Every structure is written in structure tokens, then in C-alpha cells.
Structure 1
């Protein structure tokens, strides 16, 4: 899926969180958004996902404008979202939480489910198998039948990613997915994101861990005070004087991670 953001702006109380931001993400590209706290990253993320409405500008998916569509309509078009905080449905197992993610792609309909027709049973079995596969890809298959609220934080975050994948997205929005994860969990996440990109999934990644971003991203957009200050490859961003001054700092450039 191709994403194009054209001059989007969003203000809160007269103060712009995002102002005149434009970017294009090609099908199968992994684009990262970085910047200091308060740069507008999460606001831009919500404007693309539909959790917030734009005040100005456009958001298009494969050429179709969607900035006026609510989040659930964008989900039906193939937008999957993994939020910064772990969002789970209490009282459901991990498997059931992931199965909920497929609601945007179901076809049997309410009547078929209410009457428990064969089409509903076939679809339910298919969704269950898909959810189990997604749990395995997220590295938490062993937790499938445990209550979701019993999972540790790292597994709850992985659960949210598995739920998004269960909807078979064509554009995946990730808001700080590595935050709070242990080293082994971060490595597994990096491997999964790399595999998803190799499969052709378009990914927009908002992340504070710059070294994590530099490993994965095809291109990086840098925000500061709600505006784009740089856009380019990881190598270009690493050496951009404006980015170094506003965000990275000279110590990152000299560090092994920055030089990698």
C-alpha cells in the first residue's frame, strides 16, 4: 500500500502539534519517524491512523483520500495500528485478543453468526488458525490460552502486534514498539519487522531508539516542533547537521551504534 501525507496540520488550543507535514511511503517501504519529545510524532501517527482528524492537509492510501474516514474505516482498507501503550481486552485469553483483530476482515456477517450457520463456523476456524500463527510469529504462542492481563508487559506489547497482523494489514503503523522491551524481545521484534518488510508490507515506524531505527528503516523522516526538518536514508540522517543539533547530538555520531 502506498501512503501519501500532504501538508497535514493539527493544533491543540491554538498550538500546532503538527504543521504542514508531507511525506510519501512507497509500497513495501519501511519509513521511520524520529524526533525529540514533543516533536509531533505520535500526533502524526494518529492523523494517519484516523484516531485524530486533520485540521488541514490530506492523507491518501493508494491514491484514495481518507483523511475524513474514521479509524475503523481505514482498518477495513488495510491499515493496522500498534499503539505505544499495551492495549488489551481484559477477560479474554491472548488468543481471543488476537482473534478480535480479524473483525475488520470478516465476511460471514451478523446474521450468519447469530444463526451459527456453516459459513460462520468455517470463518471462525480460519480466524483461530490465523490468530495462532500470528501469536507464533510474535513469539508468544506459549501464552495463547492465558488471560491476556496475566501476560508481562513485553508479551502484552507483542500481543498487540499479533492482533494487528491478524487483520492482514497492507500498511502497518507501529508507535514505539520497542519501548520497554528486554534485549531478547527487541531482537525478536527487529527480526519480525524485517521479515514483514521482506514480505512486502508497508511499515511506518515511530520510535525513540535511534539505533533500532537505523538498523531497520529504508528512509527516515525527522520532526522537530511539529515540522519536518530532514528526510533521507539512515546514512544521510546520521550526518545531517540540523538533525545532530536538534536530536541526535555529536555523541551519537561518534558511537558504535551511530557509525554502524
Structure 2
């Protein structure tokens, strides 16, 4: 995978006059896994939404490979290679697990509307290619045996994995993950860690927002720490772990 560079510069977003994110700079190199951590209310979810396209910044910019995307709708960012895996499982009811994953490739298909409407050979070829890729993504995320089952029948952990498989089916250049380990059992968490490490080795650029600090320290190349909407630390895991401001933000100044 050819990962894209992400640059967030001076990003700010306020709600009712109160800043959730203020003057945040964040840069992710191609092929890097950068994690964003911070205590509750630090602004992690707002920053995630500014990058994914669910919110627009009041100030600052978001760039993908040097191209500004902060005013683009989420579906247009998807066409540029930005894929999002949300914390809450989002699936299409009434579709099988395989069909759910195939939806992820809609923006990457080369067959146009006319080919689809007329059921031309190009459309059938594209469908076969997407189905093959979707099956690979299901296998990659441990869901091969669930392919023909209704997506709503999958347990929560498998529904989370299904979202990830759908995102990967679109062959993203930037993968945004919002607390993917939350609520997973130990075995599921271990499989997820191995999969993310494999994706990093393949060259995919990833931004991981996560509460589980141990999970982050194990995987991330670089970590950005937010507190009260501002960046208080950034750097490699060992450096961030020892930062007094980070310790105070999580444990309190007295600790």
C-alpha cells in the first residue's frame, strides 16, 4: 500500500464559544502509525472528526499529500483514499458480511454508471474484482467464515472487524481508527494488534485514536497527546511515556 502524508496545521473547533480543539498541529509521515491519546474531554474525537470530514474546522487546515481537504465532504475525502473506522459499529442491515465489505470499494471501482446500468462486461469484471478483494479483507480480519451471514448477526467484536474489512476493501491511503480496541476481548485485541502491525509494515498510513495506552505504546511509531483541546506532548512512545505533563494529565499533578 502507498500511504499518504497527513498534515493538520493550527486546527481549531469551538462549540458554543468553548474550544474542543485549539491550534492543533499534527503531522503523519507516509507509512507511519501515529496515535492520539489523552484523558476524557481532551478533544480526541473532535480532532478525529475534523480529519475524517464529519466536522469542518473553524480555523487551520487539513492536508493530504499537500492538498487541502478540510472543506471537502467525507465522501470526497473517501475518493482521495481516506477511510474511517468508527468506534460504534456501523453496518448495513439486510446485507451479508461480504456485501457490507464490498460497499467499501464503491469509490474505487473503475466501472462507471453506464456500465452498471447496462450490465456491461466491464461492470461484471469490476464486481468480480471487488468480491475477490472483499473476501481477502474478510480473511485478513478473521471473518472468512462469516461471509454469507447477515451482518447484523455478527457479535459486536466481529462487527467492529467488519468495519475494518470494509475500510480496507477500498484500498485506502490513510486509515483513521477511532478506539478500535474498545470493548474487545483479549484474543480479539491481540488479533487487532497483529493486523495493525501488519498494515503498518505494508506501508499504510494510519491515525489511531485510542484510550488503551498500553495498546498504543505497543504499536505506535509516534504519539500525540491532547489535553483540554491542546497538544501537550508529541514524540516516540518512550519519550511520551516519561513526559511529566502527560503523567499529570492522566494521573493528576499531585501524583
Residue 226 of structure 1: aligned partner? 229
Stretches of structure 1 lacking an aligned partner (at least 5 in a row): 253-260
Residue 175 of structure 2: aligned partner? 172
C-alpha distance in 2 between matches for 1:48 and 1:161: 18
C-alpha distance in 2 between matches for 1:207 and 1:130: 28
Number of residue equivalences: 251
Deviation at 1:24, TM superposition (A): 0.6
Residue 131 of structure 1: aligned partner? 134
Residue 201 of structure 1: aligned partner? 204
Deviation at 1:249, TM superposition (A): 6.5
Q: Does 1:105 align with 2:108?
A: yes
TM-score (norm 1): 0.95
C-alpha distance in 2 between matches for 1:246 and 1:15: 19
Give the SS at the match of 2:106: helix
- Equivalent residue for 1:241, pick from 237, 240, 244: 244
C-alpha distance in 2 between matches for 1:85 and 1:78: 21
Q: Does 1:158 align with 2:161?
A: yes
Provide closer, same or farther for how the CA distance between residues 20 and 93 of structure 1 changes in structure 2, counting only shifts above 3 A: same
C-alpha distance in 1 between matches for 2:183 and 2:142: 16
Give the SS at the match of 1:103: coil
C-alpha distance in 2 between matches for 1:83 and 1:108: 28
Task: Deviation per CA, 1:111-142: give whole Å up to 9, x if none.
Answer: 11111000000000000000000000011111
Residue 90 of structure 2: aligned partner? 87
TM-score (norm 2): 0.97
Provide closer, same or farther for how the CA distance between residues 126 and 214 of structure 1 changes in structure 2, counting only shifts above 3 A: same
Cα RMSD (Å) of the superposition?
A: 1.2
Deviation at 1:13, TM superposition (A): 1.1
C-alpha distance in 1 between matches for 2:251 and 2:29: 26
Residue 143 of structure 2: aligned partner? 140
Give the SS at the match of 2:208: strand
Task: Deviation per CA, 1:177-224: give whole Å up to 9, x if none.
Answer: 000100000000000000000000000000000000000000100000
Deviation at 1:107, TM superposition (A): 1.7
Residue 190 of structure 2: aligned partner? 187
Deviation at 1:143, TM superposition (A): 0.6
Residue 74 of structure 1: aligned partner? 77
